[in-house]
Structure formats: structure tokens, C-alpha cells
């Protein structure tokens, strides 16, 4: 039984706890399924069911106990219970289903992403169900679900999600730059006694081969070619194709040797390699002037 005071009268409303539990279980399962679909997670229905049972149990417990302040209920529902639910559904602990080999900070980042997504779908669904609850006799049950109790904090969800995913994007960009830096080499090119030092990117997308012997071809800019040699006795044309463009031809030359260096040490030496000369810059930011062959 639950009582609500309206004006000078006490109105008694009969609330069936088992039905309340089932509605909350169904709502939590729906929300977790939406998170799973949005984030492309591989979580079985058993884990979603266990997490939904935990959420529904808390909803019933919260209904029965009295005296919890509003801020305390908010913290418990959003952070403690919500966090436990996403860990049960999508976590990767020792006794839980692992979805990847990442550990440590990556796990916390994964759980944080799931929790934010869970908050957002809860808030969005809550707006719909709160309106539905006002129009139907099921309003008491719907008003006790997670979604309806959280939908008023929708603006906070968007701000939190924007900040979180913005920081994640910045970190991802920094990691990408660091990864690119790790595959950059200093390459010494030599042709007829002339040498030049260039910055090269090891590019797995470079799959050029010279058409006669099938040997791998590296790509340099025209500026590098002009620094290295003034005249070329042997010149071939190497067919290529870029994304969104038709086939083309690049002039190719064969030099004496080239050496790739990392931290001042020679890590690879090529004898008589082929170089294709590109008329256009290879990097818009001029970060590198050469593309090493992807399979070298």
C-alpha cells in the first residue's frame, strides 16, 4: 500500500510489488539492450538479465524504504546501481565475460562509456514514458521506473556525454599522432655518390610493384628526386591507382641503396631499390617526404 496526500484528503493507491518489479525489469532490460546496440557490444542475454534483475531489485527496495534524501537517492540510483548494472552487463572483470584483451585504464574507460550511454537512453526513454504514464492507468508503475525518474536530467546527460566523448576524441587523436610518430623513419638515399636524408612513413597501403620484375616500389616527392639526382639514365613508368581516381602512371628510378634509421641506428638497408616519383606532396602537413613499401 502507498499513500499520497492530495489537498486535505488521503488517497490510497494499491501497488502490486511483483508487477512493479516486472515492469522495472523489462524497462532495464530494454535500456541495456539499447546500450548494447548503440555501442556494438557483445554481451549475452544472460548478463543483461542479471543486470536488469539488480536494477529492478533496487527499484523495489527504494520504494519500500523511507528517509533517503533526494540527493542520496540520485547518487545511489545513477552512480552505484547504474554502475553495478553496466558492470554486470558489459564489464570485463576476472569472473565476467571478456570482450577484449585490454586491461586497466581501458576497462574504466569502457565502463564509463557504457554508463554514460545508459544514462542517455534512460533519460530519452523517460520523456516518452512519463507522457505515457500521465495518459494511462499505469502511471504509478511507469513513474517508478528508472527512465521516468531520470528524464528531467536530460540536459546534464548531454553535457556530460559531450565532455566525456570530447576528451576521448582528443585522447584518440593524441594516440593516433603518437602511433604515426612511431612508424616514421629517417631514410638515407644514395645515388651515384649523392646522398640525401628524408623523413619516411611506413605505409601499409603502399602496394606498388614495378611491372617488369615485380619488385616493391617506394614513393618519394619530386623535390627529393631533384635533390638526389640531376639526370637519370634508366627511367620506367609504374602504374598506380588512388582511391576515387582512375589508373595513372608515375616515373620510377632505381638508386644505389637506401637505409632506414631509428634513434640514430640503421634498422634496414635496401640494395638497388625502386623509387616512384610523385608530382604531388605526400603529406599535406609536410610531415614526411617518402612512403616506404607496406610489405618491406
Band of residue 129 on the pLDDT scale cut at 50, 70, 90: low
What is the chain's alpha carbon radius of gyration, rounded to the nearest angstrom? 31
Tens digit of each residue's pLDDT (9 = 90 or more) over 226-259: 888 877 777 888 888 766 566 788 899 999 999 9
Q: Which grid cell sits at 134?
A: 500521465
Taking the C-alpha atoms of residue 81 and residue 85, their distance in angstroms, rounded to an integer, is: 6
Name the more confident of 34 and 238: 238
Top-ranked range on mean pLDDT: pick from 78-92, 156-170, 275-289: 275-289
- For 263-274, give the DSSP string: TTEEEEEEES-E
Taking the C-alpha atoms of residue 27 and residue 31, their distance in angstroms, rounded to an integer, is: 6
250: CB partners within 8 A, 6+ apart: 219, 237, 238, 240, 276, 277, 278
Q: Which grid cell sits at 92?
A: 570485463
Domain 183-292 has CATH 2.40.70: yes
- Is the pLDDT confidence value at 209 over 50? yes
pLDDT at position 190, please?
92
pTM: 0.42
pLDDT at position 217, please?
92
Name the more confident of 38 and 293: 293
pLDDT at position 198, please?
92
- Is the pLDDT confidence value at 214 over 70? yes
Band of residue 126 on the pLDDT scale cut at 50, 70, 90: low
pLDDT at position 3, please?
42
- Is the pLDDT confidence value at 29 over 70? yes
pLDDT at position 271, please?
93
Band of residue 270 on the pLDDT scale cut at 50, 70, 90: very high
Please count the other Cβ atoms lying within 10 Å of the Cβ belonging to residue 219: 25
Q: Could you tell me which of 65, 29, 61, 62 has the C-alpha nearest to residue 45?
A: 29
Mean pLDDT of the 92-97 span: 46
Mean pLDDT of the 267-288 span: 87
Taking the C-alpha atoms of residue 79 and residue 32, their distance in angstroms, rounded to an integer, is: 15
Sequence spans of domains, the chain: 2-178, 183-292
Q: What is the DSSP letter of 216?
A: B
Band of residue 60 on the pLDDT scale cut at 50, 70, 90: confident
Q: What's the mean pLDDT when you consider all of the chain?
A: 74
Tens digit of each residue's pLDDT (9 = 90 or more) over 159-207: 555 555 666 677 677 777 666 555 788 999 999 888 999 999 887 777 8
pLDDT at position 2, please?
47
Top-ranked range on mean pLDDT: pick from 79-88, 112-121, 188-197: 188-197
pLDDT at position 245, please?
62
Name the more confident of 72 and 143: 72
12: CB partners within 8 A, 6+ apart: 1, 2, 3
Amino acid at each position: 500500500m502507498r499513500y499520497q496526500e492530495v489537498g486535505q484528503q488521503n488517497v490510497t493507491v494499491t501497488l502490486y510489488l511483483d508487477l512493479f518489479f516486472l515492469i522495472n525489469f523489462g524497462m532495464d532490460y530494454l535500456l541495456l539492450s539499447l546500450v548494447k546496440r548503440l555501442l556494438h557490444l557483445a554481451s549475452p542475454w544472460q548478463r543483461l538479465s542479471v543486470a536488469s534483475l539488480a536494477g529492478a531489485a533496487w527499484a523495489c527496495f527504494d520504494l519500500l524504504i523511507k528517509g533517503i534524501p533526494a540527493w542520496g537517492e540520485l547518487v545511489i540510483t545513477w552512480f552505484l546501481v547504474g554502475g553495478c548494472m553496466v558492470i554486470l552487463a558489459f564489464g570485463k572483470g576476472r569472473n565476467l565475460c571478456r570482450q577484449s584483451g585490454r586491461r586497466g585504464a581501458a576497462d574504466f574507460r569502457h565502463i564509463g562509456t557504457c554508463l554514460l550511454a545508459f544514462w542517455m537512453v534512460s533519460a530519452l526513454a523517460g520523456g516518452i514514458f512519463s507522457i505515457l504514464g500521465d495518459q494511462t492507468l499505469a502511471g504509478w508503475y511507469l513513474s517508478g521506473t528508472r527512465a521516468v525518474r531520470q528524464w528531467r536530467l536530460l540536459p546534464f546527460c548531454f553535457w556530460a556525454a559531450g565532455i566525456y566523448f570530447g576528451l576521448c576524441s582528443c585522447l584518440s587523436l593524441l594516440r593516433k599522432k603518437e602511433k604515426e610518430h612511431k612508424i616514421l623513419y629517417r631514410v638515407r638515399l644514395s645515388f651515384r655518390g649523392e646522398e640525401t636524408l628524408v623523413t619516411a612513413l611506413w605505409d601499409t597501403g603502399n602496394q606498388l610493384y614495378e611491372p617488369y620484375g615485380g619488385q616493391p616500389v617506394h614513393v618519394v616527392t619530386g623535390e627529393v628526386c631533384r635533390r638526389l639526382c640531376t639526370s637519370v639514365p634508366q627511367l620506367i613508368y609504374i602504374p598506380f591507382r588512388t582511391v576515387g581516381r582512375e589508373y595513372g602512371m608515375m616515373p620510377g628510378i632505381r638508386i644505389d641503396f637506401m637505409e632506414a634509421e631509428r634513434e640514430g641506428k640503421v634498422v634496414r638497408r635496401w640494395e638497388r631499390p625502386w623509387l616512384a616519383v610523385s608530382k604531388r606532396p605526400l603529406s599535406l602537413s609536410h610531415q614526411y617526404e617518402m612512403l616506404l613499401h607496406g610489405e618491406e
